[in-house]
Amino acid sequence: MSHLQVRGIGKRFGAFVALDAIDLDVQKGEFVVLLGPSGCGKTTLLRTLAGLEMQDQGQIIHAGRDISRLPPAQRDYGIVFQSYALFPNLNVGQNVAYGLNNKRQGREAFRQRVDEMLALVGLPGTENKYPAQLSGGQQQRIALARALATRPDLLFLDEPLSALDAIERVRLRTEIRKLQQRLGVTTVMVTHDQEEALSMADRIVVMRSGRIQQMGDPQTIYHRPANDFVADFIGRGNLIQGEASAADTIVHHGLSLQCDATLQPGKAYRFYLRPEDIRLLDPLEATHNSLLATVDKQEFLGAFTLVTLNPLHTGMPALVAQFSSNYLDGRPIEIGSRVRIGLPKERLHPMQEAA
């Protein structure tokens, strides 16, 4: 049985459906990321798990205990908010120790725990500083130390990195992930940043309008999006649709394309191809799954170049390809020139129809 079970959670705010029959299982030690645009219900779901919002229906079971109707204080979790929510009038030590019960544990154990937590987040010796004396990233680390000090069984992170600058954000996301793996604490994080989700999660839950669109590990979510929404939300892509002419072939605007999936002949299918999956071939290499196109636009972005290609097949929509600089390795791409590109069959995964 999974560690945290969510069964049929629903929540409305007036006529607005915030959560619609959400089912979710989180395994012990797993890092699950709730991902979606604002208003998709991801934060509401997290706050429901935390007992800060009360669901209208459904059940939440944590370690076999039904916590559906329990107030926050009777659940077992630590939480970190985007705003840090550090108490400004207490110093770092007092903030970290806020949830520790010093009568039960004795003063020495108490101090030791604070030292231990500050060392854990890489800020030893800061206990006498006030939050306002720390940078945003440092404050967020203290918030994390405070949330973990009481050894909670679950860790909830509500957009913990959104208020930080880009460099600090990347550094802290690696640190949080490492810390989470070291402590093995079961974690649920909310974010709207797909890169953050891909880099941190064991499993991503993509949400939209109060519903789960797809659940899966980062690779699956990225390469095999279940529907248009997931595909669009996570990275750029090219939609390729056509009718299957054989068990392994579809016809896309007159072009036959092979794929690895097993198809039903006569049925319409849709595929999602990532820009970096498009290959640049030798113009004479007229292999399967290749076509000629003219270069319409190119955008140099440093590590890679985004290229818009107009296929010569009439009616076929433009494709966006992404070529990394070392892949091109000096091969020039010029606007107006004609190139041959390949659409690898192992990258063509049919989408399940829209949820």
Partner 1 sequence: MNASGRVLTAAATSPSVSTRVNASGLLLVLAALVLAVFLLLPMGALLGHSVLDAQGNWSFQRFHDVLTAPGMADATWNTFWVALAVTAITVPLAFLYAYAIQRSCMPFKGLWRMLGLSPLLGPSLVGAIAFIQWFGTQGLLKSWLGDTSVYGPLGIIMATVFASFPHALMVLIVALATADGRLFEAADALGASRWRKFVTVTLPAAKYGLISAGMLVFAYSVSEFGIPKVIGGNFKVLAVEIYVQTVGQQNLGHGAVVALMLLVPVMFAYVVDRQVQRRQQASMTARAVPYQPKRDVLRDSLLTLFTATVAFAMLAVLGMAMYTSVITFWPYNLAPTLGHYTYGLADAGVGNAYLNSLWIALLTALLGTPFIFVTAYLLDKTGQPNSPLRSAIQAMASLPMGVPGLVLGIGYILFFNHPDNPLGALYRTFAIMVIVNVVHYYSACHLTALTALKSLDREFEAVSASLKVSRLVTFFRVTLPVCLPAVLEISRYLFINAMTTVSALVFLYSPDTLPAAVSILNLDEAGELGPAAAMATLIILTTAVFSLLHAGLTHLLLRRHQAWRTASR
139 lies in the site for partner 1, by CB under 8 A: no
Applying CB under 8 A, does 71 fall inside the site for partner 1? Answer: yes
Q: % helix / strand / coil in the chain, to the nearest 5?
A: 30, 35, 40
| By the rule CB under 8 A, 162 interacts with partner 1 | no
Place of tokens 């290229």: 307
51 scored as a contact of partner 1 (CB under 8 A): yes
Q: Looking at 85-93, 202-210, 263-271, 331-339, which segment touches partner 1 (CB under 8 A)? A: 85-93
Helix (H, G, I), strand (E, B) or coil at 269: strand
Pick the closer one to partner 1 by CB: 87 or 327: 87
64 lies in the binding site for partner 1 (CB under 8 A): yes
Is residue 197 involved in binding partner 1 (CB under 8 A)? Answer: no
Question: Would you say 253 and 316 are in contact if contact means Cβ atoms under 8 Å apart?
Answer: yes
Shortest distance in whole angstroms from residue 215 CB to partner 1 = 21
- Identify the H or E element spanning 117: helix 107-120
132 binds partner 1 (CB under 8 A): yes
Instruction: Give φ, ψ of 249 to 5 degrees.
Output: -135, 140
Between 110 and 271, whose beta carbon lies closer to partner 1?
Answer: 110
Q: Is 78 among the residues that bind partner 1 (CB under 8 A)? A: yes
Q: How many residues belong to the site for partner 1 (CB under 8 A)?
A: 44
Is residue 299 part of the contact set for partner 1 (CB under 8 A)?
Answer: no
* Rounded Cα distance, 164 and 79, in Å: 18
Contact 96, 138 (CB under 8 A): no
Long-range contacts, stretch 198-202, CB < 8 angstroms, 24+ apart: 198/222, 198/234, 199/173, 199/174, 200/31, 200/33, 200/173, 200/176, 201/31, 201/32, 201/33, 202/30, 202/31, 202/32
The span from the CA of 196 to the CA of 113, in Å, is 30
Q: Work out how close the CB of 83 gets to partner 1 at its nearest, in angstroms, rounded to a whole number.
A: 5
Binding mask 98-117 for partner 1 (x = CB under 8 A): xx------------------
Q: Which residues bind partner 1 (CB under 8 A)?
A: 1, 5, 50-52, 59, 61, 64-75, 77-79, 81, 83-91, 98-99, 129-133, 146-147, 150, 152, 156
